[in-house]
Structure 1
Amino acid sequence: MTTDAYFSELADALRAAGVPEAQTSSTVEDLRAHLAETGTAPEEEFGPAASFAARLGGLAPEPAEPDDRAESWTWTADLFNDRRMLAVHGAQGWEVESLDALGRFVCRRAPGVALTWEYRREVIKGGGRTRALGELEPEGWELCGEWLVYGYFKRPRAASAGPAGNLASPPARPHGWLFLSRRGKVALAIWAVAALALLGASLTGLGLPGYAIALFGVGWAASATYTARLETGKGYVQQGRRHP
């Protein structure tokens, strides 16, 4: 099959799946540009046009007018726990629309049968952005937010799981909004102790009491960090014993 015939079949399949004409044309143009850079044949790069269209088409059409019935939710996690919680909440139908100025995930969930979502985090600073976009966009990944040096990408799970990626009965919205890992909790505790130590030092003019408070805070933080590492190592050992 020639390249023109391949993209003609792909465009027809995307239209049949309900993808808007503007998005269909943009998708085809982007894929053509990608092939021009790689120099590969479309079937070799993407597979058969029909199955490739089934992975792309109709899964995430351009948004129409905002649905007043859609749920909204904002939450956050530390960098040790964000990918795990994104997987959990994505499986519950929560779509990340953006990250706000505080690094919180701003999410929505459509009413009725919701799509489930999969996420990944990539380093995008420097040349990482071009590399990540070039590798992930042809596979249906979309950049949905940035924080520090990281970029977060989303994709409807139906792109890899088919109809199983839909969620007929979404669970209730979680009550919490802060999801910290063990290391995140230790880091927060260290920050709190350091802040108290500095406050004590400033109130005492950094005399003997101030130094005592600061040293106590540093010692406690070191002890907490060491204890957390021991507990984590113990957990790994126990897990290894359960799963030889």
Structure 2
Amino acid sequence: MTGDTGDTGYFDELAAALRAAGVPGEQIADTVADLRGHVAETGTAPEEEFGPAERFAAQLGGLAPVPGEPDAAAEHWTWTADLFNDRRMLAVHGDQGWEVESLDALGRFVCRRAPGAALRWEYRRELIGGRRRGKVLDELSPEGWELCGEWLVYGYFKRPKAATAGPGGALDLLPEAPRRWLFLSRRGKVVLAAWAALVLAATTASFVGALGLPGLALTLGLGSMVSALYAAHLEAAGGRVQQKP
């Protein structure tokens, strides 16, 4: 186990180096708290885990602007995936430095990436509907997880990989931004095709007078509900999706 005095000296030096790099005080406090928690769990010395404080600060400092603050130089990208594929794609894109800022009204991931070098991000998805919300937030917050978006009964959480991977959480070379914005799994394509076929059939029936506009609206509403329930059933039957590139 490491001594508190040595740990304190390391993190004081790290905080000073981050301040010199222009990192905001609140961000420094959060970063140091996450890193302290990590070494407390592993029982290793911070210098052994992260390397010399000044060098580690150079990897962290200024790489990730505070979420929500404007940054004209940052890259911005919005994409989406189905519920069978979202966690896998979040893992892939998080390793490329993309930070999810929010989910928009259509359920798309609104992302940003700092210029030059960036931090790797890790994500997880949890059910937070009803009474589970408070319990999940209480369990994940101490581990550094931050709620970054919600969709239906799901909550998406993020944290920088530097909190668990040390220097490996920094990304020096940034791959090009993906040209795609839609990432569907095979099962997602099946559900989407079934829903599209229902829309086409209902629209055709409405035009020939078999349904009328009220009937069309009711059919589409029920079809959307059935598609969502079927998607949830398939996902539950398939088990948890492993987060790996």
Q: TM-score, normalised by structure 2?
A: 0.65
| Contact 2:128 2:153 survives alignment (8 Å) | yes
The count of corresponding residues between Structure 1 and Structure 2 is: 199
Q: Structure 1 residues 64 and 73, CA, compared in 2 at 3 Å: closer, same or farther?
A: closer
Q: Which amino acid aligns with 2:15?
A: R
Which residue does the alignment assign to 1:78?
82
Which residue does the alignment assign to 1:95?
99
Shift of 1:181: 0.7
If asked which structure has higher relative contact order (CA below 8 Å, sep 6+), I would say 2
Q: How high is the sequence identity, in percent, across the aligned residues?
A: 61
Shift of 1:159: 1.6
CA distance in 2, matches of 1:27, 1:163: 13
Which residue does the alignment assign to 1:241?
none
CA distance in 2, matches of 1:137, 1:7: 23
CA distance in 2, matches of 1:113, 1:99: 24
* SS in structure 1 of the partner of residue 175 of structure 2: coil
Q: Is 1:177 matched with 2:147? A: no
| Contact 1:10 1:50 survives alignment (8 Å) | no
Q: Is 1:165 matched with 2:165? A: no
CA RMSD between the two structures: 4.0
Could you give the per-residue CA deviations for residues 225-244 of structure 1, whole angstroms, max 9, x where no partner exists? 9xxx9xxx9xxxxxxxxxxx
Q: Which stretches in structure 2 are left out of the alignment for 5+ residues? A: 51-56, 212-218, 224-229, 239-245
Q: Which stretches in structure 1 are left out of the alignment for 5+ residues? A: 32-41, 208-213, 219-224, 234-244
Q: Which amino acid aligns with 1:163?
A: P
* SS in structure 1 of the partner of residue 78 of structure 2: strand
Q: Which amino acid aligns with 1:110?
A: A
CA distance in 2, matches of 1:126, 1:7: 41
Which residue does the alignment assign to 2:125?
121
CA distance in 2, matches of 1:188, 1:169: 36
Which residue does the alignment assign to 2:108?
104
Question: Highest CA radius of gyration, 1 or 2?
Answer: 1
Q: TM-score, normalised by structure 1?
A: 0.65
| Contact 2:38 2:164 survives alignment (8 Å) | no
Shift of 1:206: 2.7
